[in-house]
Amino acid sequence: MVKTILFLCGLAIVISLILAAPLLTRWRRKRIRDRAFPHQWQTTLDRKIPLYKSLPKPLQERLRGYIQVFLTEKTFTGCGGLTITNEMRVTIAAQACLLLLNQNERFYPKLNAILVYPGAFVVNTTQSMGGYVVEEKNVARRGESWDRGIVVLSWEDIQYDATHGRDGHNVVLHEFAHQLDQEGGRADGVPFLTPPVDRATWAQVFRREYDRLQRDVQRGLKTVLDAYGATDPAEFFAVATETFFEKAQLMQRHHSDLYQVLECYYRLDPASWGSKI
Site residues, Zn ion (CB under 5 A): 235, 238
Q: What is the DSSP letter of 167?
A: S
Shortest distance, position 143 Cβ to Zn ion, whole Å: 7
Q: Which residues pair with 140 in a beta bridge?
A: 122
- Enumerate residues 6+ apart whose C-beta is below 8 A from 98: 51, 63, 173, 245
Residue closer to Zn ion, measured from CB, 116 or 238: 238
Residue closer to Zn ion, measured from CB, 44 or 179: 179
Shortest distance, position 238 Cβ to Zn ion, whole Å: 5
Q: What is the DSSP letter of 35?
A: S
Shortest distance, position 177 Cβ to Zn ion, whole Å: 8
Q: What is the DSSP letter of 37?
A: P
Residue closer to Zn ion, measured from CB, 76 or 228: 228
Q: Please say whether the beta carbons of 74 and 112 come within 8 A.
A: yes
Residue closer to Zn ion, measured from CB, 209 or 235: 235
- Enumerate residues 6+ apart whose C-beta is below 8 A from 257: 205, 208, 209
Residue closer to Zn ion, measured from CB, 235 or 246: 235
Neighbours of 52 (CB within 10 A): 26
